Structure 1
């Protein structure tokens, strides 16, 4: 597999390749047709958006996963423009802010998303609506274009290419920058690591405005000359039918997608497909094992972000529950954020419980050369990431004596219960073993006096009911569940609230705490039985919070 310095070079390689390159439910394009379509759009782009001083011009893409999305990504690469992926779950002023913040001069969208733009202050923005006759007429004169015919300027490895918004679960999302060279290198690395072949088919079911789908799914396919199959929006029930229809061999996932796939009714032909690998984050060891048993497909947990500031490489000897070791040449450390000192190696009980959470869990930091390329016009956010010449990931980890790294959640997911530090992700991994749970989220709510209490939201499997005694017995039987880890409050919900990238929307859960519309069970005494949280008990708790000048909502707990 010959490497490429830019994404544009990878797109040009598709010219003349008449194998199937891009499919969805309604369209089939060869690699050659993808390159030709990209060349036509690049030529249109150059005519509509002449270059300005100050670098690559920006276009926004507000689309579902239709063929137009990778076609416009490829067109931008050829033309030397940069793409801002716009999240269609954003609304009103927030959506307008994302488009204006990234200085988009053109927005590519579809008719279904036009109502989102009604009345928004977007002066000077040119909108192209892909599923209209006007768009097809606008594109028609460029049908004969060839890759490289039309550019906005020199296309180099350091040419800005992606502006990928972070999830935005806390404050306004930041637009992380990614150059053509970094994306091409990331795609080549994954293609090599997973032995991607030209006859593979990458199933893209995660949203393409997010870095996971572009960096971990589309880019390695492009590097290896593999095919790409698209799903407009993730569907658990449509997953296996799509995989079979397209002959998919590889897919990526984020957040709770795996839990939703496991919650679908099992069938006798669950192994009847060509999938050989899934790659993603936050599935958890329990769900990964269940997925492999049910579908015969191994899931490889990775670690990465839109920023690309640190990478962890999984090796065959990686222990269960670990992500892997630092990639060769990287200097990753787990540091105490307050002192900057390296945390102690993790110590485990014979049952696998982390014994020294307080001294072992810290923030993952890259002390070496980081590929982080910054945020678009956000020096404050860059300063948070780059402190003392190091890249601080904002993620909690711990490291064992052999150097293997274990994910423990976001820095915001740390809990402090009775002066003991806990990590939400570690408790979630244990609660996920309960066979009635389809999804689990663990988060901190304020203790009425000081510190935090543990709250869990449980989405149950179809037909399951919450049995408090059975749940308590399950907790008591888990050998690696520390005495401070069992949830004091349990929210039983039909489904967990998710962001557009299938990650749990923890901010909303924290803000609602036990003051929500779902049934809540709690332990009045920390080791007692679970009881329904009645209106009377709720009122008594609120009184207790008021006496200590605290509230049960996480974002105001220090006030």
Structure 2
């Protein structure tokens, strides 16, 4: 496909509607012209200097300025670091400095985040100001073909520095070249039959790879229109889809659960939406979404790093993600022995019979498009070991080669010497009709290993009924004997990262000291009962007797605000 710059230049002669939000409408030509003007400004602000990278940071909501600056960077031979506006203080400054940003594009609403931060030499442009418009004015009218880029542009030119979610440590900036981004867009266009007449609704944050790689890039390749929502809103989703005539969107994490939690109406199918593509919705919620809205959700697998991809085919069984992409040599391996795990075996009811040996880490043993992390050799070494690309994700594979997601390697539990994957338990608990969202995570057992804890966000108007929940568990034929949660925490909403993924670190930090209503089983077969202060003291004494710390600290000490 070549470069993203070529795709931006191709818009110049297209006068159809190309980019919209609730305030602005631009044709494809105007998008190309706006990108060219910003690229011309960039070449003045960031002349090529030895030892200085042409990197700019975007600290923006999903406004039209975001895709315009992406296009500008592509034309100018620069790279964009998407800066997460939910980061604060030293962490935010670290992200900007780590990616060597020389220019930061932001908006007035985010200026307070920068107050007092040590960012020497950084040029800050504030898009919604007269000063910004005046700075840009001399470059308006620049045609893309008139530009002299800061550095020569080719398929290998660095374009994105996409931060990982950072829920378990400092986020890493994955490198993505113009060629890889263009190829990813072309692959999705081919796979989903995306057309120039389509409109892509971007409601996931554009600082994250999902929105740019899986939504913006295929629209650019196909010549489709783009509609933006500044920040994800479940209540605005369907009105936006109708207003923009959206046909395609992407999602990450729990966004689908929030959509399903909105009140149903007789008009839920009155829209043009055809397809949603994303990760971590789960088979239960994907089926609920299609039944309610009449639009199909396709669960995929990929990452900002691009080291492994799984493609869904029409014969993919329920619950599976798909098979390895043709170019990949994917295997599920034991993390200790490096040996390939045996194929999964299922009972007639669909119960995974050999999870302990079948679940392992997904690796790519062949060539892959992973282009590295920006200035992070330790993370590179952890990702590339023994000549393989290690995804950090748990999977199992059936006898026909279909792959099933089982969670992150950090989400593995070991209960009574049996290995369990959090995602597998979550998929079962999500069937409970009262649950709007589910998160499963480990708390240390007083003696050894782990115990299963679940956080439940309930549907509007629902209450937690411990007996009804226990009856539900007993009726699930594929719920293994070690899987039922010993502890159930009822939360008003699940704590999320800025990319709508469950923030399990926050849940594990509070664990049994959570202020939320928590229920527990004193023995595996006992009824659920409230975890009272007295019960907590009994547990605390049991941990102390065995020389182990009590799992959890109060929420005020954990310092983990809920992010939406």
Structure 2 length-normalised TM? 0.97
- Asked whether the 8 Å contact 2:544–2:550 carries over to 1, the reply is no
- Asked whether the 8 Å contact 2:205–2:211 carries over to 1, the reply is yes
SS in 2 for 1:158: coil
User: What displacement does 1:148 show?
Assistant: 3.4
Give the Cα–Cα distance (whole angstroms) in 2 for the partners of residues 61 and 98 of structure 1: 11
Give the Cα–Cα distance (whole angstroms) in 2 for the partners of residues 329 and 202 of structure 1: 27
Aligned pairs (5 A) from 1:413-492: 413-492=411-490
Give the Cα–Cα distance (whole angstroms) in 2 for the partners of residues 238 and 424 of structure 1: 31
SS in 1 for 2:63: coil
C-alpha distance after superposition, 1:422-458 (max 9, x if no partner):
0000000000000000000000010011000000000
1:9 aligned onto 2:6: yes
Aligned to 1:381: 379
Give the Cα–Cα distance (whole angstroms) in 1 for the partners of residues 470 and 532 of structure 2: 19
SS in 2 for 1:438: strand
1:253 to 241, 251, 254: 251
- Asked whether the 8 Å contact 1:335–1:365 carries over to 2, the reply is yes
Distance 1:350 1:55, change over 3 A: farther
Aligned to 2:187: 189
Give the Cα–Cα distance (whole angstroms) in 1 for the partners of residues 53 and 96 of structure 2: 16
1:238 to 218, 236, 239: 236
1:294 aligned onto 2:255: no
Aligned to 2:177: 179
Aligned pairs (5 A) from 1:128-527: 128-150=125-147, 151-527=149-525
Distance 1:308 1:235, change over 3 A: same
User: What displacement does 1:370 show?
Assistant: 1.0
- Asked whether the 8 Å contact 1:79–1:148 carries over to 2, the reply is no
- Asked whether the 8 Å contact 1:106–1:125 carries over to 2, the reply is yes
Give the Cα–Cα distance (whole angstroms) in 1 for the partners of residues 463 and 552 of structure 2: 28
SS in 1 for 2:29: helix
Aligned to 1:111: 108
Give the Cα–Cα distance (whole angstroms) in 2 for the partners of residues 549 and 510 of structure 1: 19
- Asked whether the 8 Å contact 1:444–1:554 carries over to 2, the reply is no
Give the Cα–Cα distance (whole angstroms) in 1 for the partners of residues 4 and 172 of structure 2: 23
- Asked whether the 8 Å contact 2:249–2:277 carries over to 1, the reply is yes
User: What displacement does 1:543 show?
Assistant: 1.1
User: What displacement does 1:40 show?
Assistant: 0.2
Give the Cα–Cα distance (whole angstroms) in 1 for the partners of residues 499 and 289 of structure 2: 20
1:545 to 543, 546, 549: 543
SS in 1 for 2:11: coil
- Asked whether the 8 Å contact 2:512–2:552 carries over to 1, the reply is no
Give the Cα–Cα distance (whole angstroms) in 2 for the partners of residues 425 and 552 of structure 1: 25
Give the Cα–Cα distance (whole angstroms) in 1 for the partners of residues 551 and 163 of structure 2: 27
Distance 1:397 1:271, change over 3 A: same
Q: Indicate the RMSD between aligned Cα atoms, in angstroms.
A: 0.9
User: What displacement does 1:171 show?
Assistant: 1.0
User: What displacement does 1:54 show?
Assistant: 4.8
User: What displacement does 1:52 show?
Assistant: 2.0
C-alpha distance after superposition, 1:466-503 (max 9, x if no partner):
00000000000000000000000000010000000000
Give the Cα–Cα distance (whole angstroms) in 2 for the partners of residues 329 and 201 of structure 1: 29
User: What displacement does 1:551 show?
Assistant: 2.2
C-alpha distance after superposition, 1:60-109 (max 9, x if no partner):
00000000000000000000000000000000000000000000000000
- Asked whether the 8 Å contact 1:437–1:461 carries over to 2, the reply is yes
Hey, which bits of structure 1, 4+ residues long, moved more than 4 A?
none
SS in 1 for 2:103: strand
Give the Cα–Cα distance (whole angstroms) in 1 for the partners of residues 525 and 145 of structure 2: 68
C-alpha distance after superposition, 1:378-425 (max 9, x if no partner):
000000010011100000000000000000000000000000000000
- Asked whether the 8 Å contact 1:445–1:454 carries over to 2, the reply is yes
Aligned to 2:76: 79
Give the Cα–Cα distance (whole angstroms) in 2 for the partners of residues 551 and 283 of structure 1: 34
- Asked whether the 8 Å contact 2:89–2:117 carries over to 1, the reply is yes
User: What displacement does 1:25 show?
Assistant: 0.5
- Asked whether the 8 Å contact 1:292–1:298 carries over to 2, the reply is yes
Give the Cα–Cα distance (whole angstroms) in 2 for the partners of residues 550 and 25 of structure 1: 55
Give the Cα–Cα distance (whole angstroms) in 2 for the partners of residues 274 and 482 of structure 1: 41
Aligned to 2:556: none
Give the Cα–Cα distance (whole angstroms) in 1 for the partners of residues 434 and 366 of structure 2: 44
- Asked whether the 8 Å contact 1:335–1:364 carries over to 2, the reply is yes
Aligned to 1:89: 86
Report the number of matched residues. Answer: 552
5+ residue gaps, structure 2 = 554-564
Give the Cα–Cα distance (whole angstroms) in 2 for the partners of residues 396 and 31 of structure 1: 41
Give the Cα–Cα distance (whole angstroms) in 1 for the partners of residues 461 and 507 of structure 2: 24
